[in-house]
Structure 1
Amino acid sequence: MEMNQNLNELRDISSISIYPNPEHIDLSNKHDSEQIVDISPNRRYAKLNCILGKGAYKTVYKALDWEEGFEVAWSSTQTSKAQYMELNEEIEILKRVRHPNIINFHDCWYNNNEIIFITELMTSGTLREYIQKLQVPYLKIIKRWSRQILKGLYYLHSHDPPIVHRDIKCDNIFINGAHGEVKIGDMGTAKMKLGKNYTVIGTPEFIAPEMYEEKGYNEKVDVYAFGMCLLEMVTGEYPYSECKNPPQIYKKVINGIKPECLNKVKDPEVLEIINSCICPENERWSVKQLLETSFFLPEAEVKLLSTDETKNHLTMQVIFKGTDQLSVKFEFNTDTDTAEDVVSEMIQEEVIPDRYQQLITSEINGILREMNKYIPELDENKEEDHHIWKRENTITKKIEQANERFQEAERRIMVAEEAIKNIDMELENLENLAKRNKIPLEYELQKKAVITDNPPVLTPQEIVQVDDDYLNDLPVEELAKYTATTNNKADKIKEWTQKLRDQDIVTIGDLKELHDEDWASLGLTVLATRLLKNALYKILNDNMSPQQYSLPRINSPPNDLGRYTNMTHSSYTDQSAL
């Protein structure tokens, strides 16, 4: 008897709607004009004398939000101060919940043995009232409602820890008829799932069997209740309406006996979903699994937005209905594209989910068939030939593109191999040069001058074959003098020499030890740095001919670099200095 009384009380509490009910609204003349009868402690909300709903424990009034300028619901429930303090956890949950498919909670306070909740006000009543108006709604409408309910539940269950509503039913689902918008309400029973919950709360027809057991329960009790909501939407009947009282319902639920109205569900897909919701907890689907079924997928439609004069370049758009008009716009070339390739590409780039592949491909092909019907010169046989030609043309172009990519890859490999070969040869030459005995540059020039009246010509190898000790001891003035005169900048000799000496650069050997970043800090211009580095290293590029290094006869002392005035040395470009 105590269980029966508690269940009756729970049913009475949970059946209260915060929306108009003809049996509860006071239609006396004194309410012809709405008046303010109470003000919230923060003076933001004004309670009106218009009752929207009334039950044994709760009364709901229309109210005004003076700060935002819209109507809200003012719900008052008799309770003690101690009970109000126990609700702190639930109130904190309500403050954090914000989702398009959950009624917004605005404020809450305690006053004169009453707890007051201020919540969002919907315009068209509860989902149960709406079902009664429509009798049995179309399956398309049921899908849209269910999808929104599941999205709200998915949001709650995605919290860490999950938020369990514990009283999902069509009386607690509210609707805005103007937009088909559905929201979960009556969040006062919601609770964080810290481990298992044990409190039995809710409406008997929608309470999962595990809620009666001592083992506790989790967020899947909301999935069970949703299954019962879906059953009511499909059949128009309240679950377990064959039972006369809550104890009979309780007995059937704990024994796994399903509602009789389940036999009226004819659609096999809907029946499977309901059974997957109201089965034992360990077999029951999660909200995420339900949303991923084909039944709850948003409907996708492909529209042709525009085409050019040749009807070869199309602009199409995929619209996902029931998802705030989410859409994807894309281009389609009838000469080179196929529906299968375009859809596969969008899936690979995660523009659309892969579960829509078959549907969207079929929609695009349908548009292409419709377009071909309106080409006057194509009869039925020619149209088939046109399709065959287009497919063959597409395949041919793809093969050509693949061949081009292959040839380009081969070319790059050959270039890389040639570059490696050249590098190996250069390394080998350098190693050989390092092993030879080096001869001073002046001696080589004099030797060549003896046997010919023409200016002597040195090969790159001969230029490099200079004694390291001889060069290292040369003063930097000689390098500055040589570089400036060979580049028609004789006026820069003193300036360059001074800047080098300012940085304690005295000999050629000092310069050879510098790195690129050291050169940058010498205070020289970019041009001066480049010319000095070229003169220092005397490295020929592969494409330069030895004739570019023709020199006159040398009659001056061997340590005088100024004698090489006709050496065209600006050709020794050090690429790292550019």
Structure 2
Amino acid sequence: MSSSLVRGAKNELYQYISYASANEDTELTDHFKQRWSRVSPCDATLSLDKFQLIRTLGRGSFGRVVLALLKMDSHNKMEGNKFYAIKIMDKRKLVRYKQLDHTLNERRVLYCLQHPNTVRYFFSFKDNSFIYLSLEYISGRDQQRNFKQMNSMRFNLGGDLFTYLRHTGKFNEKHVKFYAAQIFLVFEYLHHFDVLYRDLKPENILIADNGYLKVTDFGFAKHVPGRTYTLCGTPDYLPPEIIKHKGYGKSVDWWTFAVLCYEMAAGQPPFSGKDHIQLYEAIVNQRYTCPSSFSNELADLIKKILVIDVSTRLGCMANGNKDIQNHPFFDSVNFVKIYHQTENSNSVPYKPAKKDPLDPSSLSQAEEPIRVSRHNLHEEEFRMF
């Protein structure tokens, strides 16, 4: 494994001892390094017929996410039902839209993650037509939604930040801090291993039944020890360096972090335009204003991150992510308690209502069948999966 994969535990820029003890730090690092160096191959013992498909949780351009129940058999003896959210992606579409590398990156990153605020990955398998990523199913407000955004597959597994934000309009700053601190911890963790997320937005943030966040959809995640030039992301959240086709690194995640903080507090992103051209012009010219309802601390945090010059952007200077963590906006935040999810329950803004995955009210219509080709499509391209 390349020595550039993991920065030293005492690196001044990207350490995450803000919430991990020395032993935890070593354990997390070893876990990531070991898994990155030997990505688990597809499980050849699994196939779609071992699962009962219950319902579609969401759709995207390359497939859908389905709630599935692992069937019991003589080799699978476990207590209770085991539910998974299985991301099913069409091989032909992945090849046609040149998403193969993104898909391989997604599986590799998911396999390596060990963080309370990221969705858990279990296994993958494939057949003649599709590849399957099995993720944890988060019970709660489980409603089918249809998303058609080109570059993402969003799904609601127990409430998501997008739905909750649209329902409430905007969050008070106490709640913004609670949610923003968790996203900070995820980015701090990913950046420690030189992994960029690159697709932050409310739709990609789930709310578990304990009220804490789970970042999902790692389709654009990538190990970048230096700079990359890939154009990807969501228009409202694109940083200027991507729009201008400049090389970029961890700076892009901190830009999206500030956009998310703004949207949570204001109910809408900071930049707008009649079309993408006008939107991008507003972004590269920093045409936005903070509402008067923002505290001085929140407005200052956003102002210092939404900076065109990456060398002066908060989170990208000499002290790295520590400048964000130590900003006055987070003075009242206990990052250790948030990481270990031990905050007083009264501090948790919202907990989705639990719902039985097999509730008859959710099974009003038969699940659309998965049709698999008799021929192994794109066998060579997916040989490494």
Is contact 2:185-2:339 (8 Å) kept? no
Cα offset, 1:101, TM superposition: 0.8
Q: Which amino acid aligns with 2:181?
A: R
In structure 2, the CA distance between the partners of 1:285 and 1:326, relative to structure 1 (3 Å rule), is same
Is contact 1:152-1:183 (8 Å) kept? no
Do structure 1's residue 190 and structure 2's residue 218 form an aligned pair?
no
Q: Which residue of 1 aligns with 2:287?
A: 257
Q: Which residue, out of 36, 42, 46, partners 1:42?
A: 46
Cα offset, 1:140, TM superposition: 1.6
Higher relative contact order (CA 8 A, sep 6+): 2
CA distance in 1, matches of 2:242, 2:127: 33
CA distance in 1, matches of 2:263, 2:51: 36
Cα offset, 1:55, TM superposition: 3.5
Do structure 1's residue 120 and structure 2's residue 120 form an aligned pair?
no
In structure 2, the CA distance between the partners of 1:84 and 1:248, relative to structure 1 (3 Å rule), is closer
Q: Which residue, out of 85, 108, 130, partners 1:73?
A: 85
Q: Which residue, out of 295, 299, 304, partners 1:271?
A: 299
After superposition, residues 300-449 of structure 1 pair within 5 angstroms as 323-325=340-342
SS where residue 195 of structure 1 aligns? coil
SS where residue 263 of structure 1 aligns? coil
Please give the per-residue CA displacement for 1:134-181, whole angstroms capped at 9, x wherever unaligned.
22223222211111111111110011xx100010111111112x4221
Do structure 1's residue 291 and structure 2's residue 325 form an aligned pair?
yes
CA distance in 2, matches of 1:248, 1:198: 22
**More helix as a share of residues:** 1
Flag structure 1 segments of 5+ consecutive residues without an equivalent: 1-38, 301-318, 328-578
Cα offset, 1:202, TM superposition: 0.7
SS where residue 187 of structure 1 aligns? coil
Cα offset, 1:265, TM superposition: 4.6
Please give the per-residue CA displacement for 1:332-391, whole angstroms capped at 9, x wherever unaligned.
xxxxxxxxxxxxxxxxxxxxxxxxxxxxxxxxxxxxxxxxxxxxxxxxxxxxxxxxxxxx
Is contact 1:47-1:61 (8 Å) kept? no
Q: Which residue of 2 aligns with 1:175?
A: 207
Is contact 2:273-2:282 (8 Å) kept? no
Cα offset, 1:321, TM superposition: 6.9
CA distance in 2, matches of 1:271, 1:76: 41
**Please, what TM-score do these two structures have when normalized by structure 2?**
0.62
In structure 2, the CA distance between the partners of 1:323 and 1:292, relative to structure 1 (3 Å rule), is farther
In structure 2, the CA distance between the partners of 1:91 and 1:236, relative to structure 1 (3 Å rule), is same
In structure 2, the CA distance between the partners of 1:49 and 1:237, relative to structure 1 (3 Å rule), is same
Is contact 1:84-1:110 (8 Å) kept? no
Q: Which residue, out of 35, 46, 67, partners 1:62?
A: 67
Q: Which residue of 1 aligns with 2:113?
A: 97
Q: Which amino acid aligns with 1:269?
A: E
In structure 2, the CA distance between the partners of 1:158 and 1:320, relative to structure 1 (3 Å rule), is closer
CA distance in 1, matches of 2:226, 2:180: 28
CA distance in 2, matches of 1:321, 1:200: 33
CA distance in 2, matches of 1:100, 1:321: 10
CA distance in 2, matches of 1:217, 1:47: 43
In structure 2, the CA distance between the partners of 1:215 and 1:55, relative to structure 1 (3 Å rule), is closer
Q: Which residue of 1 aligns with 2:363?
A: none
SS where residue 144 of structure 1 aligns? helix
CA distance in 1, matches of 2:265, 2:127: 42
Is contact 1:76-1:115 (8 Å) kept? yes
Cα offset, 1:109, TM superposition: 3.6
Do structure 1's residue 166 and structure 2's residue 198 form an aligned pair?
yes
Is contact 1:299-1:322 (8 Å) kept? no
SS where residue 61 of structure 1 aligns? strand
Q: Which residue, out of 272, 282, 298, partners 2:311?
A: 282
Q: Which amino acid aligns with 1:255?
A: N
Cα offset, 1:215, TM superposition: 3.1
Figure out how many residues of one structure are paired with residues of the other and give that number: 265
Flag structure 2 segments of 5+ consecutive residues without an equivalent: 1-42, 141-157, 316-320, 345-385
| Identical-pair percentage | 25
In structure 2, the CA distance between the partners of 1:163 and 1:320, relative to structure 1 (3 Å rule), is closer
Cα offset, 1:200, TM superposition: 0.6
Cα offset, 1:85, TM superposition: 5.2
CA RMSD of aligned residues (A): 2.9
Is contact 2:255-2:306 (8 Å) kept? yes
CA distance in 2, matches of 1:264, 1:40: 57
Cα offset, 1:323, TM superposition: 4.9
Please give the per-residue CA displacement for 1:507-539, whole angstroms capped at 9, x wherever unaligned.
xxxxxxxxxxxxxxxxxxxxxxxxxxxxxxxxx
Q: Which amino acid aligns with 2:257?
A: F
SS where residue 300 of structure 2 aligns? helix
CA distance in 1, matches of 2:228, 2:113: 20
Do structure 1's residue 245 and structure 2's residue 261 form an aligned pair?
no
Cα offset, 1:279, TM superposition: 1.2
CA distance in 1, matches of 2:66, 2:279: 32
Is contact 1:154-1:288 (8 Å) kept? no
In structure 2, the CA distance between the partners of 1:47 and 1:116, relative to structure 1 (3 Å rule), is farther
Q: Which amino acid aligns with 2:256?
A: A
CA distance in 2, matches of 1:277, 1:265: 19
In structure 2, the CA distance between the partners of 1:89 and 1:235, relative to structure 1 (3 Å rule), is closer
In structure 2, the CA distance between the partners of 1:249 and 1:40, relative to structure 1 (3 Å rule), is farther
**Please, what TM-score do these two structures have when normalized by structure 1?**
0.42
Q: Which amino acid aligns with 1:140?
A: K
Q: Which residue, out of 151, 157, 176, partners 2:191?
A: 157
After superposition, residues 475-554 of structure 1 pair within 5 angstroms as none
CA distance in 2, matches of 1:254, 1:299: 32
Is contact 2:170-2:266 (8 Å) kept? yes
